[in-house]
Amino acid sequence: MSRVDPIIFVIGCTGTGKSDLGVAIAKKYGGEVISVDSMQFYKGLDIATNKITVEEAEGIPHHMMSFLNPSEPSSYNVHQFRDTTLDVIQQIRSRSKIPILVGGTTYYAESILYENNFIDSKKRMSSESSSGENSEEEEEHKTNEELWEELRRVDEKSAMILHPNNRTRVYRALQIYRDTGIRKSEHVELQKSNESVDLPGRLRFDDSLVVYMDASPDVLEERLDGRVDKMIKMGLRNELIEFHEQHHEKLEDCKYGVMQCIGLKEFIPWLRLSSSERETSLGEKIFKKGCDDVKLHTRQYARRQRRWYRMRLLKRSDGDRRMASTKMLDTSDKTRILSDGMEIVDRWMSGTDLFEDIAMDTSPVLKGSEANAILKCEICEITISGKDNWEKHLGGKKHKHMVKKAREIQ
């Protein structure tokens, strides 16, 4: 039995070869690629965001890349992505091609994979509401803390699971309350009451395959570190300088979505230096610190991507709902990535449904407030998102050192 209207998701950790596999699938089965990497939506920063090159694409059309202006505030959201991408999927199918979604922004992939997965507020277009336009303009000048405090006043439950620096999500929760008159937390509770498990949403396309790509932590860490070195050789310095010269007036403000980009925000201290200062030993030291931060943040991002796979995708089979075929691809052996990946796709395309065995996964799953709780460590003076991260912080060397120091002072 072959698939009637297949759709394939190639998602997972950064540095696992998703782009190459997406192209290989498209070449064999006649497909077109849709990017699910939110940082690749922005124009420019091709090296920093690791956009696929013309040579690497091998003639395969790629959609949803380089269409947002980095100098515009971060008003683009997952709902707009979903609506546009669903239209692109229809266009691809009208050409008798297979849509292949490739990328690591799992939140956006989830919006296509499942229906009714997010709250839709009935927001009026700014052209229809001058008051709405004024409200948005006023909030552009508010700090992250001010926006978060405003959310806490109207929807404390939502505020307590959102980090103040997550400006986009904080603003989105406020927007939901203003546009619907109902708190986001109340929307979420209503969704949960209508579903068999903790996670809302049902499978959008019956013939869906998810290939989740990962590698052993040691291998992936080495690969990610090497990728940063490769980016430097490809001209990362010049790309950052040119980008900064064009958009520097906007880059100091966190409300611009491009400032969430790993590979840009880490180098802002270096970019603030004059051209001559960048060439000094101090400039080199600051640039190296940026490189180290990119490596650290990329590793942290990979861990979040793994958690999403286990908690938001794999655990969905804990119920009666129809599931997407799902298979994890271990890319630790670089020489086998394409052959092993294509073997998974070939089996599924021939009619075999594929599912991971979650019986072996005995690790606890944190849900709701536990998974996203915002906790503040008064000793270290930092805010931490999630009980899991909180426990890791308490057991970390830095916290223990600060506790010891505080006791000595007392």
| pLDDT tens-place string over residues 44-77 | 999 999 999 999 999 999 999 999 988 776 678 8
Is the pLDDT at 188 greater than 90, yes or no? no
pLDDT at 129: 41
Bridge-based pairing of strands 374-377 and 208-214 is unpaired
Strongest mean pLDDT among 92-106, 111-125, 193-207, 290-304 = 92-106
pLDDT at 127: 38
pLDDT at 1: 53
Is the pLDDT at 145 greater than 90, yes or no? no
pLDDT at 265: 87
Per-residue tokens: 129: 């509401």
pLDDT interval class at 302 (50, 70, 90): confident
72 CB-near residues (< 8 Å, 6+ apart): 256
Bridge-based pairing of strands 31-35 and 62-63 is parallel
pLDDT interval class at 256 (50, 70, 90): low
Is the pLDDT at 86 greater than 80, yes or no? yes
Mean per-residue pLDDT, 146-165: 86
pLDDT at 118: 64
CA distances for 328 relative to 9, 11, 14, 221, 333, angstroms? 12, 10, 14, 18, 14
CA distances for 74 relative to 105, 117, 164, angstroms? 16, 21, 16
| Continuous H helices in 3-129 | 18-29, 54-57, 78-94, 106-113
**CB 121 within 8 Å of CB 176:** yes
Beta bridge partners of 12: 213
Ordered by where they begin, the domains of the chain are 7-117+201-218+298-360 (3.40.50.300), 235-296 (no CATH), 373-409 (no CATH)
Spatial separation of the C-alpha atoms in residues 410 and 408, rounded to whole Å: 5
Mean per-residue pLDDT, 372-385: 73
Spatial separation of the C-alpha atoms in residues 48 and 261, rounded to whole Å: 8
Strongest mean pLDDT among 83-97, 144-158, 171-185, 225-239 = 83-97
pLDDT interval class at 133 (50, 70, 90): very low
pLDDT at 239: 95
**Radius of gyration of the CA atoms of the chain, in A:** 22
Mean per-residue pLDDT, 114-135: 52
Mean per-residue pLDDT, 344-355: 93
| Continuous H helices in 315-377 | 337-349, 368-372
8-22, 249-263, 323-337 — which is least confidently predicted? Answer: 249-263
pLDDT at 254: 54
Is the pLDDT at 359 greater than 60, yes or no? no
Percent of the chain with pLDDT over 90: 40
pTM: 0.73
121-130, 263-272, 306-315 — which is least confidently predicted? Answer: 121-130
Average pLDDT, the chain: 82
